[in-house]
Structure 1
Amino acid sequence: MIERFHLAVLTAIEQQGTLTQAAESLHLSQSALSHSMKKLEQQLGTPLWEKDGRKLRLTRAGKQILLLAKRILPQFEHTEALLKQIAKGQLGTLRIGMECHPCYQWLLKVVAPYLERWPNVDVDVKQAFQFGGMRALFDYDIDMLITPDPLFISGVEFIPVFAYEHRLVVAADHPLATRAHITPADLADEILITYPVEPQRLDVFSQFLSPAGCGVKQHKRIEATEIMLQMVTAGRGVAALPGWLIEQHAQQMPLTSLRFGEQGIMKQIHVGIRNGDTKIEYISDFIRLAKQTDANYG
């Protein structure tokens, strides 16, 4: 019935729009492609596309098969790539997606010994998947997702690798610097600097300000940690960052960190993988090393 070829054809139809262009993209003749798909339509008892002017438009049945193609084809491609690497004496490439802005230096500390232990495994870090990594994990674009905000859903396993406290960092001469902890109201007149993430995914909003019905004077977004901390040092605002990151920079910069409320905001960095991938030895060993690596890099 439905074969991989059919999935590839419907994907090409969606991408190219016409039968001629789809056939060219697959290096097939238009007649061969058309004949194969008509045979499938006869077996299914329903058309898979219809003409819309010069373009082809997928029917409801065609769109349903296209959804299957988007799930299955990346798995085929991923497996074939691994088999080619195995044939060359390589184990593969561990592709890591990052949803953690400040974790890159920590990750380097994990990767260094990992590459020594696994000379036949390459590592590729994809920061383009920041804050959208779940889709990439399901689509086999990455093998592992590093995130402080796991989504516990079917098909994915999240493993905690280290715990930390999320804290407010201020300049050493800031009026709040002598406080042990702050209340949500204390930030009402402050400029809050964060990474470029939507507020609902930022712990300072979701776990601290929003539940109290409070806000800030202004919310600025800066991607580079070093620039963010320079802004804080210069009195241009305050920032919410992992405690271990603040401690490292506070050794060279006049910074002080405070707890959010009396209880603080406690977090964990997780490694997310597809169910069953812990059986892959080079993946499970990476997770083991990640658990052993101290986030307080220096």
Structure 2
Amino acid sequence: MLFDLTDLRLFIHIAELKSLTRSAERMHMSLAAASNRVKELEARFGTRLLYRENKGVQLSPAGETLLAHAQQFMQMVERLKSEMQQYNNGIKGHIRIFANTTAVTEFMPEVLGRFLGVHPQVNVALEERLNQDIVRGVQEGTADIGIAAGPVQGAGLEIIPFSTDRLVLATAQDHPLATRGQIGFAETLDYQHIGLHEGSTLQHFLARAAHEAGQRLQLRIQVRGFEAMCRMVENNVGVAILPHSSALRLSRSMKLALVELTEPWAVRERSVVVQKLDALPLYARELVDFICTMEAEHGGLRGTTGTLRA
């Protein structure tokens, strides 16, 4: 036989981590054992699969081909496992999700709370990533499901829109901008902003928007979540831009004013991103259904249409 499942899992990890050492650690095997498996694969296929460099390893063209087939093969294995679960309750499913900031902090906790309650045999790994990393993760097979906001493009992917949200400006109620009905993003850049942590998808997006406007986002402080952000806003530390769904929820317990942004990009469509929905394990397809169904139950937009209110 040319390979086994361990070979394929190892090779996928190598492609993801760009490191033979770290891949061996993840597979709980010695570096020598991992290296031997790669050499045996190369010998069996009669071609080089990896280029070993000082900073790690890179896939050869043949390695890229093997990776694509390995990812598809492992997805088929996962689907087989899920279909057989009804006969063996001891098997557990695992779903890897890359998602943007709003998904991780706002609606996915509720979705996963209900989903895992009726699927105790399934485990989920949820990671916050930038939009481009979400798409790349799904394309490369390091994520089963991606959740992104805004325009999503990716060759060979299925993109399933499920709701829309709007970015708004949050200020303290006595702030000079609090009584504005609408405001352009550029005008908010005259004020100190409260931002999310480095690596946040939203923070990365706003910094890029400011750069494209020929200005700089003046960050007074960066925090870990929307609640901390709005606490700072409430106490006039600065203004903040965040999803209206989050701002509306937090305004019920804080003294905030919400102002609509006039930029077209402020209205963002949320989408589930997968390689091929039908190829996902049954439990992963059911999670996609959960996401879409629960958002529909909340009106799809969670209060983001019509007049903004705090």
Aligned match of 1:180: 181
Consecutive unaligned residues in structure 2, runs of 5 or more: 22-29, 304-310
Q: 1:97 is aligned with what amino acid?
A: F
- Structure 1 position 219, deviation (Å): 6.0
Q: 1:63 is aligned with what amino acid?
A: S
- Structure 1 position 96, deviation (Å): 2.4
- Structure 1 position 173, deviation (Å): 0.9
> 1:78 and 1:198, CA in 2 relative to 1: closer, same or farther beyond 3 A?
closer
Aligned match of 2:243: 242
- Superposed counterparts of 1:218-229, under 5 Å: 218=219, 220-229=221-230
Task: Note if contact 1:137-1:143 (Cα within 8 Å) is conserved in structure 2.
Answer: yes
> 1:120 and 1:176, CA in 2 relative to 1: closer, same or farther beyond 3 A?
closer
- Structure 1 position 256, deviation (Å): 0.4
Match status 1:76 vs 2:80: no
Identity level (%): 19
- Structure 1 position 212, deviation (Å): 4.5
- Structure 1 position 217, deviation (Å): 4.0
Aligned match of 1:202: 205
Aligned match of 2:24: none
- Superposed counterparts of 1:124-273, under 5 Å: 124-131=124-131, 132-195=133-196, 196=198, 197=200, 201-203=204-206, 206=209, 209-210=210-211, 212-218=213-219, 220-261=221-262, 265-273=266-274
TM-score normalised to structure 1 length:
0.72
2:60 to 57, 60, 63: 63
- Structure 1 position 82, deviation (Å): 4.6
Task: Note if contact 2:226-2:242 (Cα within 8 Å) is conserved in structure 1.
Answer: no
Task: Give the secondary-structure state (helix, strand or coil) at the position aligned to 1:202.
Answer: helix
Task: Note if contact 1:161-1:290 (Cα within 8 Å) is conserved in structure 2.
Answer: no
Match status 1:286 vs 2:290: yes
Larger radius of gyration: 1
- The CA distance in 1 between the partners of 2:159 and 2:244, in whole Å, is 22
Task: Give the secondary-structure state (helix, strand or coil) at the position aligned to 1:241.
Answer: strand
TM-score normalised to structure 2 length:
0.69
> 1:94 and 1:130, CA in 2 relative to 1: closer, same or farther beyond 3 A?
same
Task: Note if contact 1:8-1:69 (Cα within 8 Å) is conserved in structure 2.
Answer: no
Aligned match of 2:20: 15
Task: Note if contact 2:165-2:302 (Cα within 8 Å) is conserved in structure 1.
Answer: no
Task: Note if contact 1:167-1:264 (Cα within 8 Å) is conserved in structure 2.
Answer: no
Shifted more, 192-201 versus 144-153: the winner is 192-201
Q: 1:154 is aligned with what amino acid?
A: A
- Structure 1 position 108, deviation (Å): 2.6
Task: Note if contact 1:278-1:284 (Cα within 8 Å) is conserved in structure 2.
Answer: no
> 1:159 and 1:219, CA in 2 relative to 1: closer, same or farther beyond 3 A?
farther
Aligned match of 1:24: 33
Task: Note if contact 1:147-1:271 (Cα within 8 Å) is conserved in structure 2.
Answer: yes
> 1:224 and 1:284, CA in 2 relative to 1: closer, same or farther beyond 3 A?
closer
Task: Give the secondary-structure state (helix, strand or coil) at the position aligned to 1:105.
Answer: helix
- The CA distance in 2 between the partners of 1:225 and 1:283, in whole Å, is 25
Shifted more, 100-109 versus 172-181: the winner is 100-109
The number of residue pairs the alignment matches comes to 277
Task: Note if contact 1:277-1:283 (Cα within 8 Å) is conserved in structure 2.
Answer: no
> 1:224 and 1:185, CA in 2 relative to 1: closer, same or farther beyond 3 A?
closer
> 1:252 and 1:159, CA in 2 relative to 1: closer, same or farther beyond 3 A?
same
Q: 1:291 is aligned with what amino acid?
A: E
1:108-145 Cα distance to aligned partner (Å, 9 max, x none): 332344345x5365241422545522232123332211
Q: 2:205 is aligned with what amino acid?
A: L
- The CA distance in 2 between the partners of 1:212 and 1:51, in whole Å, is 42
1:5-64 Cα distance to aligned partner (Å, 9 max, x none): 6x9499589726xxxx76623787x9xx66x755643xx6xx778999xx9x99x9x822
- The CA distance in 1 between the partners of 2:203 and 2:113, in whole Å, is 34
Consecutive unaligned residues in structure 1, runs of 5 or more: none
Give the RMSD, CA atoms, in angstroms: 4.3
- The CA distance in 2 between the partners of 1:222 and 1:166, in whole Å, is 18
> 1:115 and 1:289, CA in 2 relative to 1: closer, same or farther beyond 3 A?
farther
1:172-209 Cα distance to aligned partner (Å, 9 max, x none): 11111111112345324311223234789425852xx4
